[in-house]
Structure 1
């Protein structure tokens, strides 16, 4: 019996591969999974497709300024560890025939960034999701990026390290110099006046820059919030020149004493005893460890008629090298 090719009936057309995720978001339809995932497909969740995950990462760079300047590593589990050597390797001089006694070896320190699960839980009505003209993917990426950027930006600066990253302002600080402070303690410089810069404020900024050793000053930047930056932009040298130098070309940042400034609204306002200005090489000083994938769970049952999109991402962070970051503390002593 000959087989006759017949045209497919209307409604039986093959669905395009790119529409599979859109169908899941709008209706919860099950799709075949090829990639490994830690979330059960039967429960309605799976790893976000690469196109949407890339959109989220690009948006995070704008929302979380610390991510732009820190050392970001992708990890496969929450048990990430990093070894840092301290003290260097001492050497010595000897004559041609003199004995060579042993020298000390570097000391290893283990860095284990505290981590937690960052989540966002935006919702939309089923009627909105049914609207074919509505760009579901763009909306979903924007909502998740906004929440993730706000939460992680705050944690990288002030996080307490309990089920979240530990911010670089959350650890101990000391006025002691490099090589004297305990490991992990950031050096701070006193402004000389409680809650203010005091006399010759531009001199304190110069002192802060010079606290950082020369190898770290390559790639260093200032970090402060907009209120602090507004005050510093008005500082002038003795000859009347502004210490702030605006950008002269598109794409190039404005500079303070020759170094770029990063605005982080999570930095504290100038007040009594606050470390409101940071200067350092954050790529050498602060570590962000994150899982590469974001997981999303579609929940149309908990809050009818709304559909919730529960997204999670595991991320950690901590100070990696305390010598690479310096703080200006607004106190008298």
Structure 2
């Protein structure tokens, strides 16, 4: 029995050696073929033989393969469409004029939603309560009033195009630059809508909401309270700061924690000159970098989308925008690179879907420059 097992093992070892021999012979054959090809490539080409073509011809022109092939644009179009980048050397960074972006998004309440059919419930009046004796019956109390908020949505879009020559030859990253430009312009457009948007295919701004002079608890839900300066297109000649104090005190104390003034820089320039009777300025600049200036102890946010002071203008807002204004957005800005629709131009189609509306009309007050 032991002899049979030893014979089987010996036979298996012979078969393994034969297999290794076959593999070695195969490798030798491959090496010989490679040597023959190398010698043939070193010999001069015979008359009439086809010489080796360039990778551009073989890979790109014949097969349409771009990998490993250096492509260069051969002509430019007009200067504004990329012609500057073709014959001249330009800086790798692009400077741009700064665009004023509305800061309303930074002070409002922002939620991410999955659909444009977003709804939010806001209660008015709270839940009433009462006092009873230890053994007295507990009668039913009133339930709070629910109000539904459905912020109108709109879709921002941009579809700029860049020539293929510009993309190929420019020293800077054109695609990243265009994406940055689109994002900046979207921020500017949506910021203007948050202030004065009509609500038709765009957010409804807080200045587009209904207004009334009646106090909280009397006005209909969704109607903002406004206070008048008493002078059309300006402040009163004497004690103009009193109107600002009235505006602050019209906002109930629960909302004043976190409240801010919102106005544009032209209106702020007027108010910075206001002084008290003892000569002190109402406006206090921020003493630490990054901290906003304050007016009557509350931060001032400069939004250039707010209107200038004029007759019947709503140029100053004061309130807690986290509680007062709702911004709903479906997703971040989406950018699609489209090189096929309009050859030889490459389009960058960008979209952004966002909505907005006043959420709590008691949390925002407006100052109207009217008699």
| TM-score, length-scaled by structure 2 | 0.71
Matches within 5 A, 1:163-242: 163-198=201-236, 199-242=238-281
- For 2:164, the equivalent position in structure 1 comes to 126
- The partner residue of 1:319 within 343, 358, 371 is 358
Secondary structure, aligned partner of 1:248: coil
- Please list, as runs of the form range in 1=range in 2, the aligned pairs for 1:64-75 lying within 5 A after superposition: 64-75=102-113
Tell me the alpha carbon deviations over residues 66-106 of structure 1, each in whole angstroms, 9 at most, x when there is no partner: 01101111111111111111111111222233332211011
1:248 to 265, 268, 287: 287
Quote how far apart the aligned CAs of 1:298 are.
2.8
> Does residue 141 of structure 2 align to residue 106 of structure 1?
no
- Match of 1:105, SS state, is coil
Q: Does 1:275 align with 2:314?
A: yes
On the 8 A contact 2:274/2:282 being kept in 1, the answer is: yes
Give the number of equivalent residue pairs: 280
Q: Which moved more, 1:151-160 or 1:291-300?
A: 291-300
From 233, 252, 259, the equivalent of 2:298 is: 259
Residue 116 of structure 1 and its aligned partner are, at CA, apart by 0.7
- Equivalences for residues 2-17 of structure 1 within 5 A: none
Moved more, 188-197 or 134-143: 134-143
Aligned residue for 1:203, secondary structure, equals helix
Following superposition, the deviation at residue 250 of structure 1 comes to 1.3
Moved over 3 A (4+): 1-4, 299-306
- Counterpart position of 1:16: none
- Partner residue of 2:130 out of 92, 115, 121: 92
Q: What per-residue deviation string (whole Å, max 9, x for no partner) do you get for residues 277-325 of structure 1?
A: 0000101100000012332233445655432211001100000011110
Separation in structure 2 between the aligned mates of residue 236 and residue 111 of structure 1, nearest angstrom: 41
Deviation, 1:328, is 0.3
Normalised by the length of structure 1, the TM-score is: 0.79
Q: Secondary structure at the match of 2:269?
A: helix
Structure having greater relative contact order (Cα 8 Å, sep ≥ 6): 1
Cα distance between partner residues in 1 of 2:140 and 2:165? 76
- Where structure 1 has 5 or more consecutive residues not aligned to the other structure, the ranges are 5-9, 12-25, 27-60
Alignment partner of 2:194 out of 156, 159, 176? 156
Q: Which residue of 2 aligns with 1:79?
A: 117
Q: Distance in 2 between matches of 1:287 and 1:175?
A: 23
Distance in structure 2 (CA, Å) of the matches to 1:148 and 1:217: 31
Larger Rg: 2
Alpha carbons 1:120, 1:147 under 8 Å: kept: no
User: Which region of structure 1 is more displaced relative to structure 2, 151-160 or 302-311?
Assistant: 302-311
CA distance in 1, matches of 2:339, 2:179: 18
Q: Which has the higher helix share?
A: 2
Task: Provide the aligned C-alpha RMSD in A.
Answer: 2.3
Q: Show the 5 A alignment for 1:15-26.
A: none
> d(CA) in 2 for partners of 1:108 and 1:124?
51
**Partner of residue 178, structure 2:** 140
For the 8 Å contact 1:158–1:170, the answer to whether it is kept is: yes
Distance 2:346 2:220 in 1: 51
Q: Judge which range, 242-251 or 94-103, deviates more.
A: 94-103
